[in-house]
Structure 1
């Protein structure tokens, strides 16, 4: 059994070829797609976070709204760039959104991807301390965030508060029970996956790894997942971790599918240069169902993960993306034993 959700970057453009022309369109359609995903039997609605771009950025109002409109599916991010975050304020927002959803948040966080602007986190008031990098700062913000989510009091109460305080040190409110165990780290390397396990976070791996050993993407990602599981066991955590992978999967079952994705039927892994080093990008899966089922059955990383996030072309609109989700959930997943 695998949980299957969508991952949307929430692009918008005023191009006449886009169904998403504005920020309002992107946000409202993201909510509607979460509703549609629940209706077709998918398990999750996940959103990417990019600052200074015409894409989804501030996730918590969106997650709270989607939580209020749905009742079953998981709601998450993939991923929040922790370089930009005030961890205590983030804990308040996350706690509120999780309570609104009834405890369905699954938050992916990370150091983040290459930015639209130079050191954009500085505009948000976050500057790495002397001698540390922006990646160090992201991990420190994550450490504080995770600690606060534990729910222990740490702040000394005012002896003359506006409202009566409970005894002892105070914690950030609202507190969301169990949210600490539903935090994921977006890991781009095998070493980062092992660090993720040591911190007791779930592993989120995308269609991109910021390293390359010459083996196919799915095999490198499967190795990353195994290293994560081994490190988790070594760390002695009591609960079972979760692992997600992202894929672009398009069953070709209609003339429109064929028109949009026939070129992707020959897609292969690509290797590029990203953030000062080699990176390997996974291919797109697009084919008629029988061919697609055979191709996906050979994907070692999907086999090793418990959660599959389908990256969706959100500018094609809610109806089309709901069609893609339904095709995967009802035509592909049962044949592969995912359902």
Structure 2
């Protein structure tokens, strides 16, 4: 059994054929798609976060709105770039959104990916300390955020406060108990996955992965997930470590599906360069349901993960993406033992 959700990059465009033409469109349609996915029986609604781009950026208003409109589905990010974040303000936003949703947030955080502008985090008022990198800064922000989620008081109260205080040092509010156990780290390398396991956060294996030893993306992710779980166990953490992978999967059920995705071109993993790193990019899976079932059986990364995030072409609109999700849940997942 697997948890199956969707991952939206939240694009909007005024180009011909786009059903998502503005920031308003993408926000409102993201809420509608989460509602539709929950009704179809999907397990999660996840969103990418990118700054300086015509994509979803500040996640917490969206997550709170989805939390208020749904009852069961997990709500998450994949991922929040911690180079841009004030951990204290993020704690308050995350706590509020989690309480509104009844404790359903699954927050993916990470160092982030290449952005639209050079050193965009500097425009947010952040810069690495001397001798440190932006990756170091992201991890420092993350460690501060995780520390705050423990809920311990740290701030000395004013002796003449405007409102009465509880005794002792004060913590930030609102505090959402249990959110610390629902933080994920997006990892593109084996070493980062092991670090996440030692830290006691769940693993989101990146949509692209550092090429470590060659081989298909799925095989490399399976190895990465096993290393993550071993590190979690070695660190002595309680609970069950979760690991997700994301895939583009499109069953060809009708003429519209064939028009969009039925090109007949063979899809293979691709090798590319990103951030001076040789990386392997996952293929798209396209075919009739029986064909997809056979292809997906061979994906070791999906087999190893407990959570599968379906990357959706959100600019095609809510109805079409709900159709794609429903097709996978009904015609592909059961034959693979995912449902």
So what's the TM-score if we normalise by structure 1? 0.99
Structure 1 runs not aligned, ≥5 long? none
Deviation at 1:259, TM superposition (A): 1.1
- Structural mapping, 1:161-176, within 5 Å: 161-176=161-176
Structure 1 residues 110-155: Cα deviation after superposition (integer angstroms, max 9, x where no partner) = 0000010000000000111111000000000000000001111111
The 2-side partners of 1:161 and 1:272 are apart by 57
Q: Is the contact made by 1:264 and 1:284 (CA closer than 8 Å) also made in structure 2?
A: no
The 2-side partners of 1:265 and 1:296 are apart by 17
Deviation at 1:238, TM superposition (A): 1.4
So what's the TM-score if we normalise by structure 2? 0.99
Say if 1:264 and 1:149 are closer, same or farther in 2 by CA, change over 3 A: farther
Name the residue aligned to 1:306: 306
Deviation at 1:207, TM superposition (A): 2.5
Please tell me whether residue 20 in structure 1 is matched to residue 20 in structure 2. Answer: yes
Name the residue aligned to 1:81: 81
Please tell me whether residue 53 in structure 1 is matched to residue 53 in structure 2. Answer: yes
The 2-side partners of 1:287 and 1:202 are apart by 31
Name the residue aligned to 1:288: 288
Q: Is the contact made by 1:265 and 1:286 (CA closer than 8 Å) also made in structure 2?
A: no
Please tell me whether residue 203 in structure 1 is matched to residue 203 in structure 2. Answer: yes
Q: Is the contact made by 1:8 and 1:311 (CA closer than 8 Å) also made in structure 2?
A: yes
Name the residue aligned to 1:315: 315
Structure 2 runs not aligned, ≥5 long? none
Q: Is the contact made by 1:32 and 1:318 (CA closer than 8 Å) also made in structure 2?
A: yes
Spell out structure 1 runs of 4+ moving beyond 6 A.
none
Please tell me whether residue 213 in structure 1 is matched to residue 217 in structure 2. Answer: no
Name the residue aligned to 1:120: 120
The 1-side partners of 2:335 and 2:222 are apart by 21
Name the residue aligned to 2:231: 231
The 2-side partners of 1:151 and 1:207 are apart by 32
Q: Secondary structure at the match of 1:272?
A: strand
Structure 1 residues 153-212: Cα deviation after superposition (integer angstroms, max 9, x where no partner) = 111111111100000111110000100000000000001000010110000013210334
- Structural mapping, 1:65-80, within 5 Å: 65-80=65-80
Q: Secondary structure at the match of 1:161?
A: coil
Q: Secondary structure at the match of 2:262?
A: helix
The 1-side partners of 2:265 and 2:73 are apart by 30
Name the residue aligned to 1:177: 177
The 2-side partners of 1:64 and 1:231 are apart by 33
Deviation at 1:270, TM superposition (A): 0.2
The number of equivalent residue pairs is: 339
Q: Secondary structure at the match of 2:240?
A: coil
Q: Is the contact made by 1:190 and 1:227 (CA closer than 8 Å) also made in structure 2?
A: yes
Structure 1 residues 46-96: Cα deviation after superposition (integer angstroms, max 9, x where no partner) = 000000000000000000000001000000000000000000100000000
Structure 1 residues 237-257: Cα deviation after superposition (integer angstroms, max 9, x where no partner) = 111111110000111111111
The 2-side partners of 1:218 and 1:304 are apart by 9
Q: Secondary structure at the match of 1:263?
A: coil
Say if 1:264 and 1:138 are closer, same or farther in 2 by CA, change over 3 A: farther
Q: Secondary structure at the match of 1:239?
A: coil
Name the residue aligned to 1:111: 111
Q: Secondary structure at the match of 2:263?
A: helix
Name the residue aligned to 1:154: 154
